[in-house]
Chains A and B, each alone.
Chain A
């Protein structure tokens, strides 16, 4: 149990376009989902926290208008990178915590590697 999927696993796009990444909890209800970005050989940096049915809470320095997060249901959250630029190229990982599991335990998706040309 506790499987989180992400789609797509990788994406290459042109500068200025928007990219949507989906994060799904497959076998549990995710009351909270987290979005991280990770640069090569670096740690996970939390971008935002989203609770089902409410607006996402963004970390300091993360532009909410650029990284749109929607947590429409207990099994789906989406991150849209709007007007992507090369500096947005990174590994984006979602995680989820939810019912039936330890409060603090997060289950990570496989990540989405975004390359902006």
Chain B
């Protein structure tokens, strides 16, 4: 079945350092979404990428969708303690597009040391 893999599973950084998480799908995706879940909280939608090679920025966050639409990355420049949380990528589940089902990656847990 469809798999969405994310690496690394954990990332510890010093405040001010950069952070990147990578997402790879076993199938070509029509779009990819990124979510952030703060400790004890629920996932919050960050962004959706649709086009091959697309790059979008949100302040210190840069999202990229691969040319083959099977991989994506999220890069945070100069991390802050407010960036702490788990970052998930998610893509439409194979065969599930009629209902908008998503398959989530395992997530990358980011901790930031002040």
Tell me the A residues contacting B by CB distance below 8 Å.
Answer: 32, 34, 41-44, 46, 49, 51, 57, 93, 95, 97, 102-111
Q: How many residue pairs between the two chains, A and B, have CB atoms under 8 Å in the bound complex?
A: 54
Distance in angstroms from A117 CB to nearest chain B CB is: 21
When each residue 36-69 of chain B gets 1 if its CB lies under 8 Å from chain A and 0 otherwise, what string results? Answer: 0000011111001000000000000000000000
Are B44 and A108 interface neighbours, CB within 8 A?
yes
Which chain A positions have C-beta within 8 A of B109? 41
Which chain B residues numbered 59 to 114 have a C-beta less than 8 Å away from chain A? 88, 92-93, 96, 99-107, 109
Q: Which of B35, B42, B101, B106 contacts A109 (CB 8 A)?
A: B42
Give residues in B with beta carbon < 8 Å to A: 31, 33, 35, 41-45, 48, 88, 92-93, 96, 99-107, 109
CB distance from B63 to the nearest CB of A (A): 15
In the complex with contacts A42-B106, A43-B104, A44-B88, A106-B45 CB distance below 8 A:
yes
A106 touches B42 (CB 8 A): no
**Do B45 and A107 touch across chains, with their CB atoms under 8 A apart?**
yes
Q: How far apart sit A106 and B92, CA to CA, in the bound complex (Å)? A: 11
Provide the residues of chain B in CB contact with A44, threshold 8 Å. 43, 88, 104
Interface pair A97/B44, CB less than 8 Å apart: no
Docked pose: A49 CA to B100 CA in angstroms: 9
Structural contact, B48 and A104, CB atoms closer than 8 A: yes
Contact present for B42 and A46 (CB under 8 Å): no
- With the chains together, A104 CA to B99 CA distance in Å? 9
Q: Shortest Cβ distance from B9 into chain A, in angstroms?
A: 9
* Chain A neighbourhood of B93, CB < 8 A: 46
